[in-house]
Amino acid sequence: MAAAFSRWLFWHRRDLRLSDNLGLAAIAQNNPALVGVFVLDPAELQHPSMAPGRRWFLLESLRELQQRWLQAGSRLLLLKGDPLILLPRLAQLLAVEGVAWNRDVEPLVRQRDQALAKALQGQDCKVAADWDQLLVPPERLRTGAGDPYRVYGPYWRVWQQQPKAAPVAAPSGLFDLTAAEITALEAAVPPLPQTAAVELEAWDGAGICPCLPGEAAALLQLQRFADGALHNYEEGRNLPADGGTSQLSAALRSGSLSPRTAWAASLESLEICRSDEQRQSIRVWQQELAWREFYQQALFHFPSLADGPYRPLWRQFPWENKPQWLEAWKQGLTGVPIVDAAMRELAQTGFMHNRCRMIVASFLVKDLICDWRFGEAWFMALEVDGDLAANNGGWQWSASSGMDPKPLRIFNPATQARKFDSEAVYIRRWLPELQHVNTADLLSGEIAPLESRGYPEALVNHRQQQAHFKQLYAALPRP
C-alpha cells in the first residue's frame, strides 16, 4: 500500500453492490486503501421479523459482493456479532483513518449509527455517512410551510422536479490489507469473530422466488424489464398472472440495485418510446419509485409510524382480532380464492404481487376487522423484499390509518378478481385444489359444496362485514 494513503473501512448495510454506491465511491475516489466490511448480527438475522427468504437473499448477495471486492483489488471482511462492539474494535486493530457507510431512515438504525459514530470519534476515527438509498434525500423536500410532506400527490409534484444524480462507476484498483494488517487481525485478543466465507442458506422458495439476489442479477433483471414490460407497465402492473412488474423490490431494498440506476434506465426508455401510451407507462413506474421514497421520508420524519397509526383516531378502533380468522388468513384458508391465492404465493415464494397485497390487506382489516399491525408483522416475517418503511406505509394506506386523505377505502375481493384476474389464471396457479372449478365461481368465491373438495367456505360475507366496519368507524369518538 502506498504510504500516502491511510486505511478506510466501508460498512455495507443496505447497499450490497460496488457499482453506483455513493458512499463507497466518495471514499474510494481519494482513499484507494479501502476495505469493505459486513457485520452478520445474530440479533438481526435470527429476529422473528427476518424472513427466511430475506436472509437467503441477503447471504446470496453477500457471496457475490465478496467476489466483487476481490475483483476491485481488496476484500470484504465478514464479522459476526454486534456492530457497535465489533466496528470500533476493527477500526482500532487496523488503525484506520475512518469508517464510512450510507445512511438509513429506520429509527433504530439511526440510533445505532449515532452511537457508533460517537464511539468511533471517541477513539479519533473519522466518520463519513452519506445518502445512497434514495434519489432525493429526505431532508431536502419541505412544504411551503416548512413541514415534511404527508400526502403523496404534492410530494410527487415536487419530487419529480428535483435533480437526480447520475450513476457512478464501481471503484477499482483498491489496495488490499497489508501483511501487517492481516497479522494484527489474526493476533487480536480476544479473537475478532471473523468468517472467511458466507454460509449457504437453504430456503425452499429459492427456485421459484421472482426476486433474484446479487448485483449482476439485479442489473440483468432491470434491463429485461426496461426492454419489455416497462412499456406496458400502466396496465400490466395490475395483472398478477402476468409478468408485468419489475420484481426489483428486493434488489432495491437490499441495495443490490441502486435507485439511480433504476431511474437512469427509465430515462433511457423514455428516449426510445414509440407512443404516448409507452411514455405514460414509464412515468407510472417512475411514480412508483417516488412512492418508495415517499414512505422512506415519512418514516424518517415521523419515526412513530413504526409503532402505530399515523391518524390518532385509529388508536381507538375496536379491532375484533379473532385468532382463528387471523390464522386462516395467514394460511390462505379464508375461503376467498383471490385472497388465498395471494397468501399462498407469499408463503411459497416470499413475494406477493402488489395488487394482491392491497387486496389481502383490505380483506384482513376491513372484512375480518383485524388490526393491520398483525398483517404488517406477518408480511415482514415472510417477504423477501420486506422493508419497514414500504410495508408500514402500505398497510397504513390499506387500513386508512396513514398519510392518505381517503378514510374508508375498501376493496371487494370478488370485484378485484374479476377486474384483474378475469380468467382466474392466478387463482388456479396458487390454488391447485380448485383447478376443476369454473372461472365465474373462482372469481366470485361462490363455490358449491360438491365442488369445494375440502376447500373451506368463506369466513365472512363481504357486504355484511363492510357495513359492520363502517358502523364501527362511524361510532369512533371524535374531538
**Bridging pattern class, strands 34-40 and 76-80:** parallel
Give SS3 for 428. helix
Which of 13, 7, 49 is closest to 30 using CA atoms? 7
Determine which one of 232, 354, 412, 451 is catalytic. 354
Determine which one of 11, 285, 329, 372 is catalytic. 372
Q: Indicate if 395 belongs to the active site.
A: yes
143 contacts: CB under 8 Å, gap ≥ 6: 149, 154
Give the CA angle between residues 184, 188, 191 to the nearest 5°. 140
Determine which one of 156, 288, 412, 451 is catalytic. 288
Q: How far apart are CA 445 and CA 367, in angstroms?
A: 14
Q: How many CA atoms within 13 Å lie on the side-chain side of 297?
A: 24
Give the CA angle between residues 248, 61, 51 to the nearest 5°. 75
Which of 339, 328, 344, 335 is closest to 416 using CA atoms? 339
Q: Indicate if 101 belongs to the active site.
A: no
Determine which one of 8, 395, 397, 430 is catalytic. 395
Residue 452 exposed, middle or buried by CB count within 10 Å (0-12, 13-18, 19+): middle
Q: Indicate if 291 belongs to the active site.
A: yes
Q: Indicate if 56 belongs to the active site.
A: no
Single-letter code of the amino acid located at 9? L
Q: Residue 11 belongs to what H/E stretch?
A: strand 8-11
Single-letter code of the amino acid located at 125? C
Determine which one of 291, 314, 325, 430 is catalytic. 291
Q: How far apart are CA 452 and CA 3, in angstroms?
A: 75
- Catalytic positions are 288, 291, 319, 354, 372, 395
